[in-house]
């Protein structure tokens, strides 16, 4: 659902493993309504880890976009971090937004000081736990913004129903989505160069 904006900023969303891109439609449409070009990747077998370079294809389709943010949920965040690490110097990647996700020493981004990073994680996430997020923050730039969603869980970073291994959320799916959207927009507004 691309939607050109006057600031030439685009966002590319990497879905979580085995999650249909449509699960991120509400998030994507709200960001597009705010004026950003937003596209959610359709990846092979719904496993972005095997298609992590797909963002490059999208970037080629929109040469007018001067600044890109990669967004990834869960395993999609790993793919987004991988693409960022391998392409930061060659592409106009301004930032990375991790949704219930983290990177590790294999995709260490800590030395990319001018990369804007937002990590949104949830209190009741049974898959990407608070401990996972915080113990891997050393692989992100020091200026990374962290935001905890109280009462949120893993599956509600998309709208696809319950997920095995996750914990029950206290927040409704729409309330969690709205907090994610608000946090993302605040980050984009304050970190765009």
The CATH number covering residue 166 comes to 3.40.50.1820
**C-alpha–C-alpha distance, residues 13 and 1, integer Å:** 11
Please indicate, yes or no, if residue 167 is contained in any of the structural domains: yes
Q: For each of the chain's 193 residues, which pLDDT tens digit applies?
A: 443 444 689 999 999 988 898 999 999 999 999 999 999 998 777 777 777 788 999 999 999 999 999 999 999 999 999 999 999 877 789 999 999 999 999 999 999 989 999 999 999 999 999 999 999 999 999 999 999 999 999 999 999 999 999 999 999 999 999 999 999 999 999 875 5
* Residue 185 included in any domain: yes
Beta pairing partners, 4: none
Whole-number Cα distances in Å, 3 to 11, 48, 68, 120, 182: 10, 23, 14, 24, 19
Residues 6+ apart with CB under 8 A from 94: 9, 67, 68, 69, 115, 116, 191, 192, 193
The Cα 95–Cα 116 span in angstroms is 4
5 closest CA partner among 27, 34, 26: 34
Q: Say what the pLDDT of residue 7 is.
A: 67
**DSSP letter assigned to residue 47:** -
The answer to whether 100 touches 44, Cβ cutoff 8 Å, is no
pLDDT recorded at residue 104: 93
The answer to whether residue 153 is domain-embedded is yes
Instruction: Give the structural domain span for 187.
Output: 9-191
Q: Name the domain count of the chain.
A: 1
In a domain, 46, yes or no: yes
- Confidence (pLDDT) at 192: 57
Could you tell me whether strands 145-149 and 116-122 are parallel, antiparallel, or unpaired per DSSP bridges?
A: parallel
User: Which two tokens mark 81?
Assistant: 């971090």
Q: For position 172, what pLDDT does the model report? A: 98
Domain presence at residue 22: yes
- Nearest to 27, CA basis, from 121, 191, 159, 116: 159
DSSP state letter for 64: T
For residue 3, tell me if it sits in a domain. no
124 located within any domain:
yes
For residue 1, is it within any domain? no
- In this prediction, residue 57 carries a pLDDT of 92
The pLDDT, as a whole number, for residue 1 is: 42
């Amino acid at each position: 659902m691309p939607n050109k904006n006057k600031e030439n900023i685009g966002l590319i969303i990497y879905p979580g493993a085995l999650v249909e891109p449509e699960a991120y439609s509400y998030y994507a449409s709200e960001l597009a309504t705010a004026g950003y070009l937003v596209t959610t990747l359709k990846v092979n077998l719904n496993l972005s880890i095997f298609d992590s370079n797909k963002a490059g294809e999208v970037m080629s389709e929109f040469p007018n976009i001067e600044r890109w943010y990669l967004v990834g949920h869960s395993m999609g965040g790993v793919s987004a971090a991988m693409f960022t690490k391998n392409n930061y110097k060659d592409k106009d990647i301004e930032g990375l937004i991790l949704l219930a996700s983290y990177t590790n020493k294999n995709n260490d981004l800590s030395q990319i000081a001018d990369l804007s990073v937002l990590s949104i994680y949830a209190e009741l996430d049974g898959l990407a736990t608070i401990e996972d997020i915080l113990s891997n923050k050393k692989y992100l730039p020091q200026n990374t913004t962290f935001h905890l969603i109280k009462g949120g869980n893993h599956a509600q970073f998309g709208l696809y129903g319950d997920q095995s291994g996750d914990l029950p959320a206290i927040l409704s799916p729409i309330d969690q989505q709205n907090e994610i959207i608000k946090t993302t927009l605040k980050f984009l507004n304050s970190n765009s160069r």
